[in-house]
Structure 1
Amino acid sequence: MPYLFTCPHCHTRTEVEDEFSGQSGECVVCGREITLPDFAPGAASNRTSKAGGSGPRKRRSAAWVAAAVVMLLLVGASIIAVARIGGTTAQRLREGRARLASIKNMETIAQALNAYAADHGSYPAPAIYSRSGKPLLSWRVAILPYLGEEDLYERFNLSAAWDSGPNQMMTYQDMPSIYRHPDSQPWGTDTVYHLVTGSGTLFPKTGALGPKQVTDGATKTLLLVEARVSSTWTEPLDLDFVGTGGKINSTSGNDFGGVTEGGVCVVTVDGRGHFMPETTAPMTVNALVTPRGGEPLPDDVLD
């Protein structure tokens, strides 16, 4: 049974079936929120007369067409909104999974680095050097036995450069997956897991330090970081501390991060992985790099 209803905002009168009694929605004309009254059976004054030929029917048809158009627009807008929200959520989930997977890789590498240090008294040098002091292969090759890659390690010529002869072939064919970032192509040979080298770090030119020489605390000293340093996994190239300025995800090309959205994944000397947001103060980043700087840092600096 159709009833006449007047919008309290635009004062447009339209016919409404009594089955929509008490429901809320938008006016088909002004778009503002309205609530339909409870159409009592005796409300004859509001009831539309069936007399008068096709006029009321035309008005009713026009109202329902307009309502249908509005409903379609509302449904379309809702679908677009859900798609946008769903897309953003899916992207964040993917980023979160990649971050956790990257940290897991780094913790495994840190475990190998600490095992090497336990056997040798210090961490490996950033490079395997020739007798003349030329860097030949990355520390990533030196710790292969501690990653369960003894056979691969034995096949490297430790007296030759990373890009020469058989070494180059293994560089491109036998990269351990642990050195590959989760978002990297499976056939790529670049790595984003680097040491921080230079004066005042765990890896100065005078020789790598060991965990026992870290006086600032194993939980407050960085061992391994993500960095967009262009290098294949066997190339003896890492992050030079002097050029970083303690910045994360900047556009300089020689800083921390550049890999993970919103920050950088790191691992401390104790082998625990963390995520440092890019808003971390450069002074704090620098203090975390130095193993014996004596800088005061709170216990939860990486929590």
Structure 2
Amino acid sequence: MTIAGVVVVLVFAYWFVGGFSQNRDTGMRGRSKNNLKQIGLGFHNWNEVFSRLPTPYAQLPDGTPLLADPTKRLSWRVSLLPFIDQGNLYKQFKLDEAWDGPINGPLGRTRVSVYSDGVRSDPSGDQTPYRVFVGGGALFDENQPIALADVTDGLSNTIMTIEAGETVPWAQYNELPFDPAASLPPLGGSFRDVILVGMADGSVREVKKSVDPQVLKAAITARGGESLPWRW
């Protein structure tokens, strides 16, 4: 083969591999965005039924935590199961048992497609990158759940769920503590340049990882009164 022929083959191979990788990334990103939309719809349906959002951990109807130890509590992702077409799985959970207990542990290793981004390695099937911010004026609070109607910053301007930098077992209550004065935790990770964010109106945004942290913090608060730039 001539040098020119080798060059043509190499260029074609580069184009083919690059195009395949880009198409795969686009497909995976679309799947993850759809997951966040399904989770957002689940939250909206919960709000419709209970006139408020859930706390970030499973609780009794009156708001009482089922377990005193926060590290053993079941996540909001368990509470949301009936609202994402996983009611049969929800019924099997023992809500007053630890997330990794003898009954709940095996259930938590059930792969729930809506909670899996399909990108990061997850041999056990129990990992999720989709988490919420808790406290500090965020949409979720351990002690005082709010209704979507009480979000004064606007639902389209308020972050509901986010693709975190670290995955956690989906059944475990292990969220992102929010302090406006502190640094944000690692975010994103599934995709190189963007963080996928589910907004409180049910939409999903692709936010650049280079976004100003102060802008992101303003979007995390539900009633902070901050102004967001038109494009962020």
Say yes or no: TM over 0.5: yes
Q: 2:51 aligns with which of 102, 118, 121?
A: 121
User: Are 2:76 and 1:139 aligned?
Assistant: yes
CA contact (8 A) 2:132 2:175 kept: yes
Aligned partner of residue 165 in structure 2, secondary structure:
coil
The 2-side partners of 1:140 and 1:175 are apart by 12
CA offset at residue 118 of structure 1?
Answer: 1.5
Mark the runs of 5 or more structure 2 residues left unpaired by the alignment: 60-64
The 2-side partners of 1:143 and 1:289 are apart by 21
* Partner deviation per Cα, 1:152-207 (whole Å, 9 max, x = no partner): 111110010100011111111x2321111122447521001111112110112332
CA contact (8 A) 2:131 2:164 kept: yes
> Which position in structure 2 is the counterpart of 1:283?
214
Matches within 5 A, 1:161-200: 161-172=98-109, 174-184=110-120, 185=122, 187-200=124-137
CA contact (8 A) 2:67 2:98 kept: no
Aligned partner of residue 112 in structure 1, secondary structure:
helix
Pairwise CA RMSD = 1.9
TM-score (norm 2): 0.89
* Partner deviation per Cα, 1:61-109 (whole Å, 9 max, x = no partner): xxxxxxxx8xx10110121122112222221111111111100011001
Higher relative contact order (CA 8 A, sep 6+): 2
The 2-side partners of 1:81 and 1:175 are apart by 40
User: How many residues matched?
Assistant: 223
> Which position in structure 1 is the counterpart of 2:144?
207
CA contact (8 A) 1:196 1:289 kept: yes
CA contact (8 A) 2:93 2:104 kept: yes
Structure 2 counterpart of 1:85, one-letter code = W
CA offset at residue 267 of structure 1?
Answer: 1.0
Residues 186 and 115 (structure 1 numbering): CA distance in 2 closer, same or farther, change over 3 Å? farther
Aligned partner of residue 198 in structure 2, secondary structure:
strand
- More moved, 106-115 vs 122-131: 122-131
> Which position in structure 2 is the counterpart of 1:240?
177
Percent identity over the alignment is 26
CA offset at residue 228 of structure 1?
Answer: 2.7
Structure 1 counterpart of 2:127, one-letter code = D
